[in-house]
Amino acid sequence: MTDTKQEADFLIHPENTFLYIWQLFMVALVLFSAISLPLYAVFAKDIPVLLIIIVFLFFCDIFINLRVAVKTKNGFCWETAEILKSYRKGFFIPDMIAALPWWLPVALLFKNEEPGIITRFLFLLPLIKILKIGHYLQVFEKSLTINPTIIRLIKFIVLVGIIAHWLASGWVLIGPVKEGLPADDFSKYIRALYWCITTIATVGYGDISPDLSQNHQIIYTMFSMILGVGIYGYVIGNVASLLANIDVAKANFMRRMEEINSFIKNKKIPLEIAQKILDYYNYLWETQQGGNDSQVMNELPQSLSIEVSMYLNKTIIQKVPFFTKMNEVFIREIIMQLEPLIFLPQDYIVRRGEFGDCMFFLSAGSVDVKGSNGELYATLGEGAFFGEMSLIRGEKRNAYIMAREYCDVYRLTKESFDELRRKYPDFDQQVIETVAERDAMNKKKTEKPAAPVKKQ
Amino acid sequence: MTDTKQEADFLIHPENTFLYIWQLFMVALVLFSAISLPLYAVFAKDIPVLLIIIVFLFFCDIFINLRVAVKTKNGFCWETAEILKSYRKGFFIPDMIAALPWWLPVALLFKNEEPGIITRFLFLLPLIKILKIGHYLQVFEKSLTINPTIIRLIKFIVLVGIIAHWLASGWVLIGPVKEGLPADDFSKYIRALYWCITTIATVGYGDISPDLSQNHQIIYTMFSMILGVGIYGYVIGNVASLLANIDVAKANFMRRMEEINSFIKNKKIPLEIAQKILDYYNYLWETQQGGNDSQVMNELPQSLSIEVSMYLNKTIIQKVPFFTKMNEVFIREIIMQLEPLIFLPQDYIVRRGEFGDCMFFLSAGSVDVKGSNGELYATLGEGAFFGEMSLIRGEKRNAYIMAREYCDVYRLTKESFDELRRKYPDFDQQVIETVAERDAMNKKKTEKPAAPVKKQ
Amino acid sequence: MTDTKQEADFLIHPENTFLYIWQLFMVALVLFSAISLPLYAVFAKDIPVLLIIIVFLFFCDIFINLRVAVKTKNGFCWETAEILKSYRKGFFIPDMIAALPWWLPVALLFKNEEPGIITRFLFLLPLIKILKIGHYLQVFEKSLTINPTIIRLIKFIVLVGIIAHWLASGWVLIGPVKEGLPADDFSKYIRALYWCITTIATVGYGDISPDLSQNHQIIYTMFSMILGVGIYGYVIGNVASLLANIDVAKANFMRRMEEINSFIKNKKIPLEIAQKILDYYNYLWETQQGGNDSQVMNELPQSLSIEVSMYLNKTIIQKVPFFTKMNEVFIREIIMQLEPLIFLPQDYIVRRGEFGDCMFFLSAGSVDVKGSNGELYATLGEGAFFGEMSLIRGEKRNAYIMAREYCDVYRLTKESFDELRRKYPDFDQQVIETVAERDAMNKKKTEKPAAPVKKQ
Amino acid sequence: MTDTKQEADFLIHPENTFLYIWQLFMVALVLFSAISLPLYAVFAKDIPVLLIIIVFLFFCDIFINLRVAVKTKNGFCWETAEILKSYRKGFFIPDMIAALPWWLPVALLFKNEEPGIITRFLFLLPLIKILKIGHYLQVFEKSLTINPTIIRLIKFIVLVGIIAHWLASGWVLIGPVKEGLPADDFSKYIRALYWCITTIATVGYGDISPDLSQNHQIIYTMFSMILGVGIYGYVIGNVASLLANIDVAKANFMRRMEEINSFIKNKKIPLEIAQKILDYYNYLWETQQGGNDSQVMNELPQSLSIEVSMYLNKTIIQKVPFFTKMNEVFIREIIMQLEPLIFLPQDYIVRRGEFGDCMFFLSAGSVDVKGSNGELYATLGEGAFFGEMSLIRGEKRNAYIMAREYCDVYRLTKESFDELRRKYPDFDQQVIETVAERDAMNKKKTEKPAAPVKKQ
């Protein structure tokens, strides 16, 4: 995966930091142009200095584009010819149109005069660069972990803002002139923007409307209505679904809660049970954001899935004593075998006399170990494990284990357990030792059952 | 799960009832402030007494917040230092801003005068408390079984209402003054609210609109349009989907009915069969609200799932004679084994001569027991069970059993049945006795088949 | 399922035809009242005769309601006391309010005068009956196979229509009076309705708007905007999703086609294969409306599912010679075993030399039976069956069978086949005979392969 | 599938190219009529020539329709009687109405005069042909691979456009005449269209509105608002969902990315792992457009599914040396057995010492073959295969194979492999030879491990 970079001849690697910054700057510059150029085209009394700077920076962009290596299937290509060919197929022509001072000849011809209608139109040519903004943004979208929905929301708002600004700028030129109103540039623009927003938002007070004897004003207004109202309606229609998607996990959880509510209401579940169900889901949301990520995990390729599992469960693994000594290969294997379960307060995790086919690791919460008469043998906390006794000796469970509060538990079945012990003899050894230790401890407890040991 | 409460030093448990009531009162107070403060800011001739009361109550809220124990991972913390630290990270600063009478110095300086523009603005500072309303509501949302969709609908309506009120209050101050209209406060506010609603709902009559020579009026109107119309559009867009979700079970059922209708139409199912299908779904809706709750049940942890099952099926269990005598552990186990089925009128549940692999419990409806020539042996009603004969003796079914009307039936398969008898010898005993009884009864019936016994 | 009807004392069975017609008439009458009563309240110069008739008919409705047997869990109850009790819990009070001529005392008091504002308001009281319209409609919705989406669409339109009518009627009373406009009732109402629609649809020309010096007009307008615009927005938002659901099968098919299109485009599937895929889906739509009804079928109870299957496949069953002679029990069983398949033109259904594990029934289309050198043995049409030879003798397929066009084929696997032959000896016999016949025919063909027999 | 065409008597095959062109022309003509006829009806001073031409062409359409063979279940029917019968059931009556010059008698009666209101109305009769446009379009929709969503979008836009045009044309006739405005036809139409768009888009400036003393203008405006606003709202509501469906694969991928983002955020996955996950999905999108096409593939009938698989995987097949020599039947079979997998850079595909149960074909990317001490034996590129050694000899893997970059790999399990070797002896032979070759090569490499062979 190492790429040989040739930075001679000022060639730039496509993932170079300078290039990132330049592209970010270009995005800002294009947005600035989208706002300033229409204003110049409408209000400028002279060739604006900023316009010259913008055109110059767009010119620089062409040069930089010609120095960037091309990404191919087999890595990167540093040949100038290849770069030029790839650029010509891409944004070369719009880049050239944006970077050339088309207004220069006209301005030189009629110098000392206020720019005419054609010059003003030529001011707008660099706006073609706006076509490239999606191309620039792609780079950032890929490498950032920003919520894609928020990116789309911002795009929508910027889009509506720019279109409103353009329509307003056009209205300044084309719209009717009312007497008795302030005629400074700012007031004229504000009134045009006001007309535009009143129209786009379909409020339509009617205090500013085209002169009905001027067909070009009528046509411009119709065009604004069709474009503006269409985009506005589309954006409003989208915003609802976009906002709903900003936190998909929350939205899914809300939908599930609605189903649960409907279930409770239709089945007339009594309040006591209903409250337990709601508590359970609130616990699920607070600790696991609604759980049920198995779908996401299953979609990932195995190596990534293990990596994520290891990260998520590293706390439980670090807590269980005989896991900490095992090597990473073993940890990876055991993690894929663990099955997460949730127990409610007062739930029996293990019942005395049952035939056990699994052991448990307590990831969160605490449990009581009890005898058949309800006497408390011990209280186990996070990181404890239990149920392994019958698993090893093939006996029935010899105690009750009851959740004291909400417990996150991982279950390891006998099949997986036997498989792991067979595969990893050192793990087998450790299990045997721990069991012996535990036996000794239980023996002591059975002798003085009145004093339950709290082991947290 | 018992928590040691220390109510010395007037410390309050976070789940204390008084705290609940106080928080409910604060929600009401904040909403009241959101309505009254802007009106004071616009119309007040003096420092309003109510404003002083509001600020005082907000001040009390700070003290109460400082007395509430902090919820931590390991229970509750009653240390004042810890509470203060947790409060400082949370809403301490907005609470302080809301609880201080910022207008006091200004009011003292210019006493006996009507409050100036700055004082009026300072009146609005307690509104910062509105940020905390979500925090207060969270408590109630968790513990109530109110439909979350209705909560969201109410939130939307309150939000739109408050924004409309604020925009209208601002318009009273900033809007144009038309001559010849009543100038009392109420009329001025009503006209401003009318302008606001006309604008937000995008009706835009244009009878009230900004004075085009006043840029600040134009800008305020643009701001109102963007904010108000955006929120209005968003709310309308949401209301449709919210209303659709108020009863998810009904909505899902409607969707299924549309599929059924489409199926019937496209396949040209004849009217007679179509009517049967529609009847079946109507029955399903009326008795089980569309059925198919298995998804919800499967998501619940096992202990909750059993609890809900026991609640839902307690009637069937109470009806079957030999279940009522069994202990709860047995009942729990059998409930998880039962499989619900629905039979249509005239459907054969059991056919004579078939090899039986299950028995049935009749939960609702009634069935006819018939011989091979259609002679009626018996009619069984709710709580009856049948089909157990061949199950026990390994013979073929010796009668036809036909549903008289829609029947809700629970099926218990031979595997589950044998498992249960093996596990629970007293159940086994009871089954044997009941079968003997039934045999005797059948014998009698076969002797006089003309008089079918109706057993309901 | 037969109910003993007691039609003495003029008691009516709830599913009586006369009751159906009466309820239908009441729906029409309530809708008529919703339109006419507001008009009377606004324009009437006298007590309108129609109002008296409406009230009288509503009075009759009470009597009829008191004669209808009550539906209970155990059938129908014909006790008058029980009916009265059930009615009192239901719509008795609104029915009484609607059926009493409240305006009578007022009208008698001020007779010979034009009805006053109170009388006019009392005219509206029968409108309370509109609450019962949902109750009436429920009966029809259940028993009709009308698309529930269309019913909801009509409900929405009627709802918006009635609200617009009511708001307009109110505006006639309360709205401003402009001079110089025609003052006849019709013109007044038309202008009010025009104002209402202009407002509800948010167009808001502003040519009719409240007199800003009249607070009650402003408040009425605000109320109209909030109610009308809210409902309008809600309806428009719903109509799109309702229209999408009118034909769910079509909508699902469209969505699948979009996925197919996306698949073809993204994978750059060449045109030739893409055309085949699209042809296949068009065939699927035309013959089976998109197929994939297995979900609907699985949801139905078994007896209904078999009934539908028998209806859908009765043609194939009637076509296959040895099925027609079998009894219904056999037909039911075989239908549940058949698996539908579609073959494209030129597809091989059976290949010579393969080991066969199933036979096929040709439901639609035609196939060629070919030898290993491509010589045509026979062409089989609808109702033909093939592939049974190897199935019976345990040999390899001895011919190629190729679809000539799109073929709907049902597959019967060896397991199901053997099971059926074992269960039904007469079927076994028939199969053996048919095979012998076929052998003889094939022998003849092999002797003169130049003349393929076309058997349609 | 060959149809005998009888083109005598000028009968036309329904899939004839000329017919296609004619139908395309008719679509264009109908759309042109929809625009021009209302204009004629409003502005024409005389019988327009174009109208005569349109009617004549519609007349031709009837003749052509009478010459087109009818598609039946059993192919095509060329009987004139049958064609006529089928046509009479279809569009014969609307076609006749559209094709007759109804205005002729009226025009002849009052010749030399401007057409009266009745004549003008008769001008509109050919518009009935618009009913048939769906019928014409069906043909093209079926045979083209244009995105159905784009077709629906265009239909919506054309529909709204035509309705706006018709409403505007009506307004020219019926609307109020304002003095002082240009009265030429173009200006009149532009103002009417402006009124129409202002109304439909709910902007409603109010500069053009009905004369309130003219009830027919008010009613026309109400009708326009209900129709126009309804359709506009419906279209805007649909456009959002339509645009979302233009690229279903992209939309599904976006939704999945939102879930991934939500997962990363809620689980607080560290940046390093999160970046890996995002990279993986970006790779998935770029190479396979989001993968997971198995659903589409499963829905296709087997023969089509194989054809698509062969197309998609033909590159991998062409690359693997011993596949190229195999015949198509073998290729088809092996393709159905291959299971696609993706490995991330640095992932181990094969670990030394593991017991292998599958072999791999490298479709894209490159892998390193390494010894137990990390020494590089070889680097394999696209088209390479590995892991077959242990598969054949039942030994453990004797090397590590690690992905150098993202690798698209196809896995062939031992079961499928053994099955294929048993079925295809020549394939078996080829495998044995290739293994021998590889052994020899490995031997060489082990002798000089310092010089890893790069085989691309």
CB contact under 8 A, A147 and D206: no
Query: Å from C269 to nearest chain B CA?
Result: 31
Amino acid making up residue A29: L
Show residues of chain B in contact with C300, CB under 8 Å. Answer: 277, 280
Between residues C443 and A50, which one has the greater pLDDT?
A50
The reported pLDDT for the residue numbered C210 is: 93
The reported pLDDT for the residue numbered B435 is: 73
- What does pLDDT average to over chain A? 80
CB contact under 8 A, A205 and C202: no
Highest mean pLDDT among A209-223, A264-278, B118-132, D6-20: A209-223
Show residues of chain D in contact with A289, CB under 8 Å. Answer: 262, 266-267
Number of domains in chain B: 3
Q: Which among D197, D259, D344 is the nearest to A304, CB-wise?
A: D344
Residue A189 sits at the vertex; the CA angle it makes with A183 and A195, to the nearest 5 degrees, is 110
Q: Kindly report, residue by residue over D50-106, the tens digit of the pLDDT.
A: 888 999 999 999 988 888 887 765 567 777 788 888 888 888 888 988 888 887 887
Residue C356 has pLDDT above 80, yes or no: no
Sheet holding A376-380, edge to edge: A348-350, A400-403, A367-370, A376-380, A453-455
Indicate the residue among A144, A173, A193 that finishes a domain.
Answer: A144
Residue C36 has pLDDT above 90, yes or no: yes
Distance CA D58, CA D50 (A): 12
Asked if the C-beta of A205 comes within 8 angstroms of chain C's C-beta atoms, the answer is: yes
B69 lies in the same domain as B123: yes
Per 3-state DSSP, what percentage of chain A is helix, strand, and coil (rounded to 5)? 65, 10, 25
> Residue B181 domain-assigned?
no
Residue C379 has pLDDT above 80, yes or no: yes
User: Rounded to 5 degrees, what are φ and ψ at C448?
Assistant: -125, 80
The reported pLDDT for the residue numbered B27 is: 92
> Residue D262 domain-assigned?
yes
The reported pLDDT for the residue numbered A122 is: 86
Nearest chain A residue to B246 by CA distance is: A258
Distance CA C328, CA C310 (A): 10
User: Rounded to 5 degrees, what are φ and ψ at B74?
Assistant: -100, 30
Choose the weakest-confidence range: B43-52, D180-189, D315-324. Answer: D315-324
Query: Å from A235 to nearest chain C CA?
Result: 15
CATH number at residue D255: 1.10.287.630
Between residues C305 and B164, which one has the greater pLDDT?
B164
B269 lies in the same domain as B319: no
> Residue A209 domain-assigned?
no
Asked if the C-beta of D38 comes within 8 angstroms of chain C's C-beta atoms, the answer is: no
Highest mean pLDDT among A129-133, A301-305, C449-453: A129-133
Amino acid making up residue D425: P
> Residue C171 domain-assigned?
no
DSSP string spanning B365-424? Answer: S-EEEE-TTS-EEEEE-TT-EE-HHHHHH--B--SEEEESS-EEEEEEEHHHHHHHHHH-
Q: Which of residues 223-262 of B touch A (CB under 8 A)?
A: 225-226, 229-230, 233-234, 237-238, 241, 245, 247-250
* Span A252-264, average pLDDT: 80
Of A342, A339, A411, nearest to B299 by C-alpha is A342
Nearest chain D residue to C205 by CA distance is: D206
* Range of the structural domain that residue B9 is part of: 1-144
> Residue B99 domain-assigned?
yes
C305 lies in the same domain as C448: yes
Distance CA C416, CA C419 (A): 5
D256 lies in the same domain as D343: no
Indicate the residue among C257, C288, C319 that finishes a domain.
Answer: C288
Distance CA C199, CA C189 (A): 15
C259 lies in the same domain as C124: no
The reported pLDDT for the residue numbered C60 is: 92
Show residues of chain C in contact with B454, CB under 8 Å. Answer: none
Q: Kindly report, residue by residue over A392-432, the tens digit of the pLDDT.
A: 766 677 788 999 888 888 888 888 878 888 877 777 887 77
Query: Å from A455 to nearest chain B CA?
Result: 15
Show residues of chain A in contact with C204, CB under 8 Å. Answer: 203-204
Q: Which among A190, A237, A345 is the nearest to B237, CB-wise?
A: A237
Answer yes or no: are the C-beta atoms of D379 and D369 closer than 8 Å: yes
Answer yes or no: are the C-beta atoms of B409 and B342 closer than 8 Å: yes
Show residues of chain C in contact with D238, CB under 8 Å. Answer: 240
Nearest chain B residue to A403 by CA distance is: B1
C389 lies in the same domain as C262: no
Show residues of chain D in contact with B202, CB under 8 Å. Answer: 202
CB contact under 8 A, B142 and A344: no
B6 lies in the same domain as B140: yes
Residue D122 has pLDDT above 90, yes or no: no
Answer yes or no: are the C-beta atoms of D27 and D133 closer than 8 Å: yes
Asked if the C-beta of C319 comes within 8 angstroms of chain D's C-beta atoms, the answer is: no
Find the DSSP H helices in B124-202: 133-143, 148-174, 185-200
CA dist B145 → A262, B97, B299 (Å): 10, 34, 19
Distance CA C199, CA C231 (A): 12
Q: Kindly report, residue by residue over C243-278, the tens digit of the pLDDT.
A: 777 777 777 788 788 888 878 877 788 888 888 888
Q: Which among C182, C258, C341 is the nearest to D245, CB-wise?
A: C258
The reported pLDDT for the residue numbered C92 is: 87
B342 lies in the same domain as B417: yes
Distance CA A131, CA A98 (A): 11
Asked if the C-beta of A280 comes within 8 angstroms of chain B's C-beta atoms, the answer is: yes
End-to-end CA gap in chain A: 48
Q: Six-digit token pair at D183? A: 């009265």
CB contact under 8 A, A236 and B226: no
Residue D357 has pLDDT above 70, yes or no: yes
Residue A448 has pLDDT above 60, yes or no: no
Beta-sheet strands, E only, within A165-245: none
Q: Kindly state the DSSP code that residue D316 receives in the 8-state scheme.
A: H
> Residue B231 domain-assigned?
no
Indicate the residue among B144, B160, B194 that finishes a domain.
Answer: B144
Nearest chain A residue to B309 by CA distance is: A269
Q: Kindly report, residue by residue over C62-86, the tens digit of the pLDDT.
A: 988 888 887 765 567 777 788 888 8
Beta-strand pair D70-72/C400-403? unpaired
CB contact under 8 A, B206 and D206: yes
A71 lies in the same domain as A114: yes
Q: How confident is the model at residue C333 (pLDDT cuts 50, 70, 90)?
A: confident
Between residues B223 and B335, which one has the greater pLDDT?
B223
The reported pLDDT for the residue numbered B291 is: 58
CA dist D398 → A408, B123, C56, D353, D385 (Å): 42, 81, 98, 6, 15
Residue C322 has pLDDT above 70, yes or no: no
Neighbouring C-alpha atoms within 13 Å toward the C-beta of A22:
17
Residue D142 has pLDDT above 70, yes or no: no
Between residues B364 and A77, which one has the greater pLDDT?
B364
Query: Å from D164 to nearest chain A CA?
Result: 12
Long-range contacts of C144-151 (CB under 8 A, 24+ apart): C145/B261, C145/B264, C145/B271, C145/B274, C145/B275, C145/B278, C147/B258, C147/B261, C147/B265, C147/C246, C148/B254, C148/B257, C148/B258, C148/B261, C149/B258, C149/C242, C149/C245, C149/C246, C150/C246
> Residue D22 domain-assigned?
yes
Three-state DSSP class for D108?
helix
Q: How confident is the model at residue C3 (pLDDT cuts 50, 70, 90)?
A: very low
Interface ipTM above 0.85: no
- What does pLDDT average to over chain B? 80
The reported pLDDT for the residue numbered D258 is: 80
- Spatial neighbors of A6 by CB under 8 A, at least 6 apart, are A78
Distance CA A220, CA C144 (A): 53
Of D62, D118, D111, nearest to D90 by C-alpha is D62
Q: Kindly report, residue by residue over D229-270, the tens digit of the pLDDT.
A: 788 777 777 776 777 777 777 777 877 888 888 788 777 888
* D contact chains, 3+ CB pairs < 8 A: A, B, C
The reported pLDDT for the residue numbered D26 is: 92
Residue D291 has pLDDT above 60, yes or no: no
A272 lies in the same domain as A366: no
* Span B402-421, average pLDDT: 84
Q: With the CA atoms of A146, A150, A152 and A154 taken in that order, what torsion angle do they form, in degrees rounded to the nearest 10?
A: -110
Choose the weakest-confidence range: B92-96, C96-100, D332-336. Answer: D332-336
D36 lies in the same domain as D122: yes
Three-state DSSP class for B42?
helix
The reported pLDDT for the residue numbered B422 is: 81
Nearest chain C residue to D199 by CA distance is: C203
Q: Kindly state the DSSP code that residue C356 receives in the 8-state scheme.
A: P
CB contact under 8 A, B205 and D206: yes
Chain C interface mutation, best of B261, B268, B275, highest count of C Cβ atoms under 10 Å: B261
CB contact under 8 A, A191 and B212: yes
Helices (H), strands (E): how many in chain C?
Answer: 20, 11
Asked if the C-beta of B182 comes within 8 angstroms of chain D's C-beta atoms, the answer is: no
Chain B interface mutation, best of C152, C222, C232, C247, highest count of B Cβ atoms under 10 Å: C222
- Determine what percent of chain C is predicted with pLDDT higher than 90: 15
Of C195, C60, C174, nearest to C117 by C-alpha is C174
Neighbouring C-alpha atoms within 13 Å toward the C-beta of C257:
29
D272 lies in the same domain as D378: no
CATH number at residue A424: 2.60.120.10
Task: Give the rounded distance of the alpha carbon of D424 from its chain centre.
Answer: 40
Answer yes or no: are the C-beta atoms of C333 and B312 closer than 8 Å: no
Q: Six-digit token pair at C96? A: 């009484």
Q: Which among A218, A241, A304 is the nearest to D191, CB-wise?
A: A218
> Residue C252 domain-assigned?
yes
Q: How confident is the model at residue B437 (pLDDT cuts 50, 70, 90)?
A: confident
* Span C178-194, average pLDDT: 91
Q: How confident is the model at residue D2 (pLDDT cuts 50, 70, 90)?
A: very low
Three-state DSSP class for A394?
coil
* B contact chains, 3+ CB pairs < 8 A: A, C, D
Q: Kindly state the DSSP code that residue D130 receives in the 8-state scheme.
A: G
Beta-sheet strands, E only, within D8-145: 70-72, 75-77
